[in-house]
Amino acid sequence: MRSQIQCAAFWILLVQVPLTTSRQVPRALPHYDYTLTYIMDGAPAVVIDNSSSIAEHHQLAGRSMAEAIAEGKRATLWLKEKYGIDFTDVEDEVYLDGSKAVTRNNLTFKAFALDPRARYRLVTASNGYSAQYFNIPLTDAGWTLITDEEYQANGSYTGVIPKNSYILYSDYVIPVCPYCRTREGFLHFPCGNIFGTTTPLVIHYETKSFLALGNPIIIDFLVRERTWGEGEASAVGWFSGTNNKIMERTVLTFPGTFTENTT
């Protein structure tokens, strides 16, 4: 109890109240139900394999470890159906620990989490014609398939995937309200936001084809949120400076196509 009180006091001191704005705009312009913008501008080495970071991501998403494994199994089934790549027989520990990667036929399947030093964060979001500034960190973790050689897909997707490309089945977890870690899990504090929730947003994403590393990196994801439905995520990333820091700018829209106003 004492740690919870101390943690609450810490957040009261450090967390700024997000600013919400709503103004008159030309209603003839199309709009999306929800639009979110992310920024990454941190460490050059952004992916980590340790099981504790992966577990924390799933716990923040509200999953037990059994539920996280079940989500990982959905990822391998998706890989099999979409690309003809079968890792459905991997051990449960593979889904929870990036150091337990499995490689076969020049393909590597593994769990991952984004390093917090990448400073990946939700900057702004809109709900209809209302917008809010956040600038809060998000977690990004899930499962990836890496092609160690060129691969001809033979599932519902039949394209050629270049060597050193990535296929991703993961999610963003965004704690839109401050929280504290407790022995029971996470304690979330009430706050006002345009989403009307105190629990984290959990936004699933998956590659439409594959992600090829380059400079720049072009990202095109299908995204899904439990109540918002399907949307689109587009991003550009690039390596900056002498230490090859990865920079990224991401925009998500729900739904994937805009709503035309008829009034």
pLDDT in tens, 115-168: 999 999 999 999 988 899 999 999 999 999 999 999 999 999 999 999 999 999
pLDDT tens-digit series, residues 171-209: 999 999 887 877 777 777 778 899 999 899 999 999 999
Domain encompassing residue 148: 33-231+241-254
Does the residue 10 lie in any domain?
no
Cα distances (Å, whole numbers) of residue 80 to 74, 100, 170? 10, 20, 16
Does the residue 27 lie in any domain?
no
Q: Which of 66-75, 91-100, 167-176, 188-197 has the lowest mean pLDDT?
A: 188-197
Does the residue 8 lie in any domain?
no
Residues 222 and 230: their CA atoms lie apart, in Å, by 7
Tokens at 187, concatenated: 């304690």
Does the residue 1 lie in any domain?
no
17 vs 20, which has greater pLDDT? 20
Q: How much is the pTM? A: 0.87
- The alpha carbon torsion through 207, 233, 123, 125 (nearest 10 deg) reads -140
pLDDT of residue 69: 98
Does the residue 12 lie in any domain?
no
Cβ atoms 120, 114 nearer than 8 A: yes
The whole-chain average pLDDT of the chain stands at: 87
- Model confidence at 99: pLDDT above 50: yes
Does the residue 155 lie in any domain?
yes
- Model confidence at 34: pLDDT above 60: yes
pLDDT of residue 16: 43
Cα distances (Å, whole numbers) of residue 203 to 2, 89, 147, 174, 262? 33, 26, 25, 8, 29
pLDDT of residue 25: 56
pLDDT tens-digit series, residues 200-256: 999 999 999 999 988 899 999 999 999 999 999 999 999 887 777 889 999 999 986
- Which residue in this structure is represented by tokens 């051990």? 91
Domain count of the fold of the chain: 1
Return the DSSP state at 8. Answer: H
Residue 82 belongs to what H/E stretch? helix 65-83
Does the residue 26 lie in any domain?
no
Does the residue 206 lie in any domain?
yes
pLDDT of residue 260: 56
Residue type at position 48: I
